Structure 1
Amino acid sequence: MIWHLIAAIFAGLGAAGIGMLLRLLSGKRLPRWIVPVFGGLGMLGYQINVEYSWYEHKRQLLPDTAQVVQVEHDAMFWRPWTYLFPMATAFSVVDEQSMAVQEQDGERRVEFLLYHFEKQVQDRVTHQAWLMNCTTRETLPLEGEARRPRTEDIRRLAEDAPLYLAVCGQA
């Protein structure tokens, strides 16, 4: 976090230097306020770049066995440009290393971990164990260390759902 602050300050200083250079090259015909405006725009541009590249940066850090199954884009009123270009604020990942396949009663069931990454002041990562019946496309969360099924939260996925394809297409 401190490194982003330092980088934003240096981006602002660099952009302010460009504003000062333009003012000098124009023979000081450009107004003096151009220097702090360029500095502010440099800092804002750096911050926007960091926010929009967050998802790609985190995705590149994932192992090759991880597959992104959902990306959440959001718009925020304090970032008005996100209404035109929504920003990725969270995504969910399934790692095939965490999958355990069971054949039972002619049905294939896969137990897996679903990781959820959220962009906040400090990035947040949570995980939840799930059980999916590949034959019926039903999935439900598993609770605690005993991995007890929470049957009230059962849901059926579509055949083309990325989560279903990632879990049952690989298993």
Structure 2
Amino acid sequence: MIWHLIGAIFAALGAAGLGLLLRLASGKRLPKWIIPVFAGLGMLGYQIHYEYSWFDHKQSQLPPTAQVVDTKQDSMVWRPWTYLYPMTVAFSVVDQSSMVPREADEHQLVEFILYRFEKEYVDQLYHHPFLMNCSTAEMVPLSEESRQPRLDALRSVDEESRLYRAVCSAR
């Protein structure tokens, strides 16, 4: 977080310097307030760039076996530009190297961990184990301690979804 503050300060200083150069190049005909306006625009530009590059940056830190299976884009009132270009605020990942294929009663089962990254003031990471039945396209969460299926939370999965394809193509 401190590095983003330092980055914003340097972006503000650079943009303010550009405003000063423009003022000097115009023979001081541009008003003095152009310098702090450029500084504010520099900080705003840095923040927008950071927020829109967050997803790509996090994705580059993932291992090669990790596959993004879901993204969530959102718009916010205090960021009016997100209504034109929604910003990625969360995504889910499956790491194919941690999948455990199983077979039971002629059903192809795959145990996997679903990771969820959320962009907040401090990035959040949640992970939860699941069991996917590739034969019936059903998914059930596993309890953290005993790794037993919680059948009350059984749900169907679309066979065309990225989650189903990522999990069931690895078997």
The residue that corresponds to 1:11 in the other structure is 11
The residue that corresponds to 1:75 in the other structure is 75
- Could you say what the CA RMSD is over the residues aligned between the two structures, in angstroms? 0.7
The residue that corresponds to 2:104 in the other structure is 104
**Distance in 2 separating the partners of 1:84 and 1:7:** 25
The residue that corresponds to 2:128 in the other structure is 128
Q: CA deviation at 1:44?
A: 0.3
Q: How many residues align?
A: 171
Q: CA deviation at 1:40?
A: 0.2
- What TM-score does the superposition give when structure 2 sets the normalisation length? 0.98
Q: CA deviation at 1:48?
A: 0.4
Show structure 2 runs of 5+ residues with no match: none
Q: CA deviation at 1:151?
A: 1.2
Secondary structure of 2:142 counterpart: strand
- What TM-score does the superposition give when structure 1 sets the normalisation length? 0.98
The residue that corresponds to 1:144 in the other structure is 144
Aligned 8 A contact 2:137 2:157 in 1: yes
Letter in 1 for 2:167: V
Aligned 8 A contact 2:128 2:144 in 1: no
Aligned identity (percent) is 60
Q: CA deviation at 1:139?
A: 0.2
Secondary structure of 2:141 counterpart: strand
The residue that corresponds to 2:52 in the other structure is 52
The answer to whether the aligner puts 1:65 opposite 2:68 as a matched pair is no
Show structure 1 runs of 5+ residues with no match: none
Secondary structure of 2:73 counterpart: strand
